[in-house]
Amino acid sequence: MEAIETYENKHNIPHDWINYAISKSAPNGFWQRLERGEIKMDKDFFNGFNADLRNEKIWKDYHTSFRNSKEKLKDVANPTQLGDHVSLKAEAADTKPTDQDRGSQGPPLSGSTASESKDPSADRPSLSKLAKDTTIGDPVSIESEEVAESSSNDSSSVSKQSTASSSPSPPQATSTLESLPPLPDIDGESLFWSMMEHSRKPDPYIFPALLRLGKTSPKERPIVAALSNTVIFPPGHPYNRLSEPPESSPRSHFDIFIASAEAGMRKPNPDIYKLALRELDKLDKEKGGSGIKAEDCVFLDDIGENLKTAKDMGMKTIKVVLGKTWRAVKELEQATGAELMDDKTRRSKL
């Protein structure tokens, strides 16, 4: 998430540490428990969140495995190209979307990208499932990158009197907590609110596409649903959805909105996907359709773990790459047959 990167740069925090700390505190870290609605957003939450961000074991793992693997990947990647390891490997500008863009960490996809209703009165596409995530980090895709590292053995030392192999070099000592840099001093509450503020800003490509989907004719309009990892704000807080006029709420743009904090489970738990499918199937039948199955769905997300679960269930998945979200819109156009970009955007990006 852009807000995390901004915070890390501003406070000289090692790149990806915040993402890594939050993701590695799963499944019962304070962030995950808040998104499941198990705890309140109060002083105890922020104290616990701060503790997760200062976990010494995770800090050691970050330096001894995760960060080292990223440094190795940079060694074999194009040194003139800027960006994180995913950008270096698969997200170079002006390239066509790759399998990694589409979140294809799972097994091969079965089923078609769109389906037609067997009911003659329902010729519209059964579903485009548009989900915009508020969770952060992609530990699965980051950690699953395999980096080839070549090494050479020390040559044997040879003398005129005798020939003998040199003794093998002693193994390097494993890094200990004492040899690591000090844990960053992070204000979890300040970080949290900066993330929440940023998450409320509409994406310049995804949001217009959502509006265009809503304006298509009823016969052609797909069912649009959100499956979102969310939090519950304190009563009276300006971000509390109960304080928002219905027409200004993000929920007003979706036929179905499933919030993790209200459902008591969060992505990538398969159970929340099954809940979404039940709701979609029910609504489609109420509209005269023949029902919704996983293979009828197009699932968008920016988190590898969330995409993998959807793909394993049979959904078509589209990777939303932050900073390049127009690519996801282009793929969604191909999946739905709808025009979701204006002419200006299309000319500048395609």
- Span 38-83, pLDDT tens digits: 999 999 999 999 999 999 999 999 988 877 776 655 554 433 333 3
Does the pTM of the predicted model rise above 0.75? no
103-125 burial: b if 16+ Cβ within 10 Å, else e: bbbbeebeeebbbebeeeebebb
- The pLDDT tens digits of the residues spanning 252-300 come to 899 999 999 999 999 999 999 999 999 999 999 999 999 999 999 999 9
CA dist., res. 159 & res. 157, Å (int): 7
**What is the structure's pLDDT at 292?**
97
Reported for 101-104, long-range contacts at CB under 8 A and 24+ positions apart, including other chains, are: 101/319, 101/321, 101/327, 102/307, 102/317, 102/318, 102/319, 102/331, 103/301, 103/304, 103/307, 103/308, 103/310, 103/311, 103/317, 103/318, 103/319, 104/311, 104/317
Residue 262's pLDDT is what? Answer: 96
pLDDT digits (tens, 9 = 90+) for 84-132: 333 333 333 334 444 443 443 333 333 333 333 344 344 444 433 333 3
Instruction: Decide if 56 contacts 182 (C-beta within 8 A).
Output: no
Q: How far is CA 339 from CA 21, 160, 208, 331, in A?
A: 40, 79, 11, 11
pLDDT (tens digit per residue) in 126-158:
433 333 333 333 333 333 333 333 344 443 333
Ramachandran category for residue 337: left, alpha or beta (phi over 0 → left; psi -120 to 50 → alpha)? left
**Banded pLDDT at 36 (limits 50, 70, 90):** very high
Express each pLDDT in 167-223 by its tens digit.
444 444 444 556 889 999 999 999 999 999 999 899 999 999 999 998 888 888 899
